[in-house]
């Protein structure tokens, strides 16, 4: 960073001036060809970017493709690699997210493209605008997720514009941090892939039959264990203290040794009433969110009293299984079955939903219990090793990202040139 300080002292000793983004950039949004016209989309070859794809940050690929006819039918424009793009709208945290393109593409109307002139390095602008995410959210029109950015807001942003040599030194430093992050992410992904391949092999019919020495036939889950869900609880039944109550997104708090930290509760009277009607999961039982969570299976490891939100969470009673089972093996086998068969098991017009009647048909390979335990032991060991390593790697990656953000904010805070 001494080189950066030398450049600042040499090239802008009196400080750095600010300019409106529109003074040195061309800003425009894209467009969407009519979805009802198949000739605009079928066999398309022109990359077309939607707002959700800004989360790549460096856009190396997009899913959308349009035809030349589709491109000609609307006001979208091609932008070259190295263009800064900003999500003008989008679900959740998308609005205000900034990316830079690594390929030539066009965009939809929910993305603002920013083309810099020769006075500003586009990578420098990308880093600066990325640091302004919270500010971009605040200035968006509207409230909450209904807000939106627009071209006038972008063009009116005040941007510090030091000499290009200073900008490029800032980029060089921040790129070095990003390379470390990329390497850690690649290592985590590689280890996860290794675990996935091991799991696939150990749970295969070929491996299980070789280990058991007998033929193993798939059975529907309902022939092995009981499947259930909670009785519905009304909002008026929820209180500030008492028996913990968990929603579908919180079931992970009941496994992996996590401390129970609920936000909602039931009175003991309500709890006794609903449990008598539908029962509840016990230690070793499996929990499955029923919506949009293909393959997610949690195993209850607490004996404390708790209750779950009705059909948003299904459970499998391994303790009352009709055959001898190792609940750990059942967790792995059921997760694999759900991933392999999710499209067949899930239903719903607007979103995929796993119902009890469908879950009961999930095919399970059930070898003798000694083979189940052997496979579960191997997968437990591999998973523990993966977690031990990834607990370290993500922790290191998080630390690197915090370090990156610290230095990014510091590097992009210039002494202001007096008017």
The strand ranges marked E within 257-332 are 264-266, 286-289, 298-299, 307-308, 313-317
Band (346; pLDDT cuts 50, 70, 90): low
Band (25; pLDDT cuts 50, 70, 90): very high
Place of tokens 């006038």: 152
CA–CA gap between residue 213 and residue 371 (Å, rounded) = 10
The residues, any chain, with a CB within 8 Å of residue 357's CB and separated by 6 or more, are none
Give the pLDDT confidence score for residue 359 in this predicted structure: 87
Q: Indicate whether 254 pLDDT > 80.
A: no
The residues, any chain, with a CB within 8 Å of residue 8's CB and separated by 6 or more, are 16, 162, 166, 414, 415
Label residue 322 exposed, middle or buried (CB < 10 Å: 0-12, 13-18, 19+): exposed
Give the pLDDT confidence score for residue 2 in this predicted structure: 83
Q: What is the mean pLDDT of residues 298-326?
A: 80
Cβ–Cβ < 8 Å for 332, 199 = yes
CA–CA gap between residue 110 and residue 168 (Å, rounded) = 29
Q: Indicate whether 21 pLDDT > 90.
A: yes
The strand ranges marked E within 230-371 are 238-239, 243-246, 264-266, 286-289, 298-299, 307-308, 313-317, 346-347, 353-354, 363-365
Q: Indicate whether 204 pLDDT > 90.
A: yes
More confident residue, 384 or 343: 384
CA–CA gap between residue 336 and residue 52 (Å, rounded) = 29
- What residues does each domain of the chain span? 1-16+162-190+372-419, 18-161, 217-366
Give the pLDDT confidence score for residue 159 in this predicted structure: 97
Q: Indicate whether 389 pLDDT > 90.
A: no
Q: What is the mean pLDDT of residues 378-386?
A: 84
Give the pLDDT confidence score for residue 388 in this predicted structure: 65
Place of tokens 């393109």: 101
Give the pLDDT confidence score for residue 145 in this predicted structure: 43
User: What's the Cα-to-Cα distance from 289 to each of 231, 245, 262, 292, 356, rounded to whole Å?
Assistant: 15, 15, 17, 8, 11
More confident residue, 84 or 419: 84
CA–CA gap between residue 272 and residue 292 (Å, rounded) = 30
Q: Indicate whether 144 pLDDT > 80.
A: no
pTM of structure: 0.67
Cβ–Cβ < 8 Å for 325, 225 = yes
Give the pLDDT confidence score for residue 349 in this predicted structure: 43
Asked which of 85-89, 292-296, 301-305, 396-400 is least confident by mean pLDDT, the reply is 292-296
Q: What is the mean pLDDT of residues 219-244?
A: 85
Q: Indicate whether 271 pLDDT > 90.
A: no
The topology (CATH level 3) of 18-161 is Adenine-n6-DNA-methyltransferase TaqI; Chain A, domain 2 (3.90.220)
Q: Taking Cα atoms as reference points, which of 306, 320, 330, 331 lies closest to residue 254?
A: 306
Q: Indicate whether 124 pLDDT > 90.
A: yes
More confident residue, 263 or 315: 315
Give the pLDDT confidence score for residue 280 in this predicted structure: 79
Q: What is the mean pLDDT of residues 109-138?
A: 96
**Could you tell me how many helices (H) and strands (E) the chain has, helices first?**
12, 22
Q: In what order do the strands lie in the sheet with 307-308?
A: 238-239, 264-266, 243-246, 307-308
Instruction: Compute CA 107 distance to the chain's CA centroid, rounded to the nearest angstrom.
Output: 22
Band (228; pLDDT cuts 50, 70, 90): confident
Give the pLDDT confidence score for residue 260 in this predicted structure: 60
Band (255; pLDDT cuts 50, 70, 90): low
CA–CA gap between residue 85 and residue 89 (Å, rounded) = 12
Q: What is the mean pLDDT of residues 107-134?
A: 96
Give the pLDDT confidence score for residue 415 in this predicted structure: 87
Cβ–Cβ < 8 Å for 106, 131 = no
Q: Indicate whether 133 pLDDT > 80.
A: yes
Band (141; pLDDT cuts 50, 70, 90): low
Give the pLDDT confidence score for residue 36 in this predicted structure: 93
Q: What is the mean pLDDT of residues 117-141?
A: 93
Give the pLDDT confidence score for residue 108 in this predicted structure: 96
For residue range 46-95, what is the model confidence (pLDDT) as tens digits?
999 998 899 999 999 999 999 999 999 999 999 999 999 999 987 678 89
Q: Indicate whether 368 pLDDT > 90.
A: yes
CATH code of the domain occupying 217-366 = 3.90.220.20
Q: What is the chain's alpha carbon radius of gyration, rounded to the nearest angstrom?
A: 27
Q: What is the mean pLDDT of residues 165-183?
A: 93
Q: Indicate whether 350 pLDDT > 50.
A: no
Give the pLDDT confidence score for residue 358 in this predicted structure: 85
Q: What is the mean pLDDT of residues 218-243?
A: 86
Cβ–Cβ < 8 Å for 306, 250 = no
User: What's the mean per-residue pLDDT of the chain?
Assistant: 87
Q: Indicate whether 293 pLDDT > 70.
A: no
CA–CA gap between residue 340 and residue 235 (Å, rounded) = 36
Q: What is the mean pLDDT of residues 311-336?
A: 85
Structure tokens at 398: 């998080």
The reply to whether domains 18-161 and 217-366 share a CATH topology is yes
What would the DSSP string read from start to end of 71-127?
HHTS----B-TT-EEEESS-STT-TT-EEEESS-BEE-TTEEEEEE-TTS-HHHHHH
């Amino acid at each position: 960073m001494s080189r950066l300080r030398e450049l600042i002292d040499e090239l802008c000793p009196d400080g750095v001036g600010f300019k409106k983004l529109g003074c040195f950039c061309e800003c425009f949004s894209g467009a969407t060809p009519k979805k009802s016209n198949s000739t605009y989309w079928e066999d398309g070859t022109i990359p077309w970017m939607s707002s959700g794809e800004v989360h790549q940050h460096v856009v190396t690929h997009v899913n959308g493709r349009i035809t030349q006819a589709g491109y000609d039918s609307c006001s979208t424009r091609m932008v070259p690699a190295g263009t800064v793009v900003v999500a003008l709208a989008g679900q959740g945290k998308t609005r205000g997210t900034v990316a830079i393109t690594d390929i030539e593409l066009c965009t939809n109307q929910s993305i603002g493209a920013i083309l810099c002139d020769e006075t500003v390095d586009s990578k420098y602008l990308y880093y600066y605008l990325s640091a302004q995410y919270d500010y971009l959210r605040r200035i968006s029109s509207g409230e909450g997720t209904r807000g939106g950015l627009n071209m006038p807001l972008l063009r009116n942003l005040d941007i510090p514009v030091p000499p290009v040599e200073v900008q490029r030194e800032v980029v060089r430093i921040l790129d070095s941090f990003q390379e470390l992050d990329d390497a850690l992410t690649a290592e985590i992904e590689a280890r996860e892939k290794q675990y996935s391949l091991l799991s696939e092999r150990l749970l295969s019919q070929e491996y299980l039959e070789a280990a058991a020495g007998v033929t193993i036939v798939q059975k529907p889950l309902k022939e092995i264990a009981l499947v259930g869900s909670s009785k519905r609880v009304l909002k008026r039944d929820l209180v500030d203290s008492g028996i913990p109550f968990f929603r579908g997104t919180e079931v992970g708090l009941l496994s992996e040794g996590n401390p129970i930290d609920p936000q909602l509760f039931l009175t003991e009277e309500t709890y006794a009433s609903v449990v008598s009607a539908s029962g509840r999961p016990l230690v070793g039982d499996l929990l499955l969110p029923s919506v949009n969570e293909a393959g997610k299976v949690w195993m209850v490891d607490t004996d404390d009293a708790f209750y779950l939100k009705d059909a948003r969470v299904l459970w499998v009673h391994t303790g009352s299984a009709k055959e001898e089972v190792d609940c750990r093996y059942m967790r792995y086998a059921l997760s694999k079955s759900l991933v392999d068969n999710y499209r067949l098991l899930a239903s719903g017009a607007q979103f995929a939903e796993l119902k009890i009647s469908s879950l009961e048909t999930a095919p399970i390979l059930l070898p003798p219990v000694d083979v189940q335990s052997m496979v579960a032991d191997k997968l437990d060991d591999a998973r523990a090793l993966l977690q031990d390593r990834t607990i370290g790697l993500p922790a290191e990656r998080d630390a690197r990202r915090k370090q990156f953000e610290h230095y990014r904010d510091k590097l992009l805070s210039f002494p202001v040139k007096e008017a």
